[in-house]
């Protein structure tokens, strides 16, 4: 998937929407992957039920913090490492989601400036 470069015209709106959809779907895939890691880990290491594991993983992944106290050392270690992973994952997923939108805005601004410089 090639993005427009500095000298290229801005992509048609239809192509932009397809690009946004593709990046959004990839972001959803990354969220699902991250939630799966958390759900399986909390079930295995903390002994939480499926719904509690999903709730805990979701809250950690979005940065709200833990909702259940971890009782033993292994569950505390998993929770700590999952929280560190989630911090990086949240920022990365946000960047992937907004990348085509920011690229388009910056490209429009660059094209407009270049056209003004020619006049």
User: Tens digits of per-residue pLDDT, 24-40?
Assistant: 999 999 999 999 999 99
111 belongs to a structural domain: yes
4 belongs to a structural domain: no
Question: What's the structural domain count of the chain?
Answer: 1
3 belongs to a structural domain: no
What's the chain's average pLDDT? 89
Domain containing 96 equals: 13-118
Element (H, E) at 63: none
Summarize pLDDT for 52-74 with one digit per residue, the tens: 999 999 999 999 989 999 999 99
48 belongs to a structural domain: yes
66 belongs to a structural domain: yes
Query: How far, in Å, are 25, 31, 61, 86, 116 from residue 56 at the CA level?
Result: 23, 14, 9, 12, 53
Distance separating alpha carbons of residues 86 and 84, to the nearest angstrom: 5
Distance separating alpha carbons of residues 66 and 79, to the nearest angstrom: 8
The answer, as to whether pTM is greater than 0.85, is: no
6 belongs to a structural domain: no
Look up the CATH number of the domain holding residue 21: 1.10.287
């Amino acid at each position: 998937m090639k993005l427009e470069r500095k000298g290229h015209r801005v992509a048609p709106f239809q192509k932009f929407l397809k690009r946004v959809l593709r990046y959004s779907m990839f972001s959803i895939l990354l969220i699902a992957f991250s939630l799966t890691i958390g759900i399986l880990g909390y079930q295995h290491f903390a002994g939480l039920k499926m719904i509690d594991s999903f709730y805990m993983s979701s809250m950690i992944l979005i940065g709200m913090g833990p909702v259940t106290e971890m009782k033993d050392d292994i569950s505390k270690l998993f929770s700590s490492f999952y929280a560190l992973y989630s911090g990086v994952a949240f920022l990365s997923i946000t960047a992937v989601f907004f990348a085509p939108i920011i690229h388009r805005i910056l490209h429009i601004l660059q094209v407009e400036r270049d056209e003004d410089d020619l006049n």
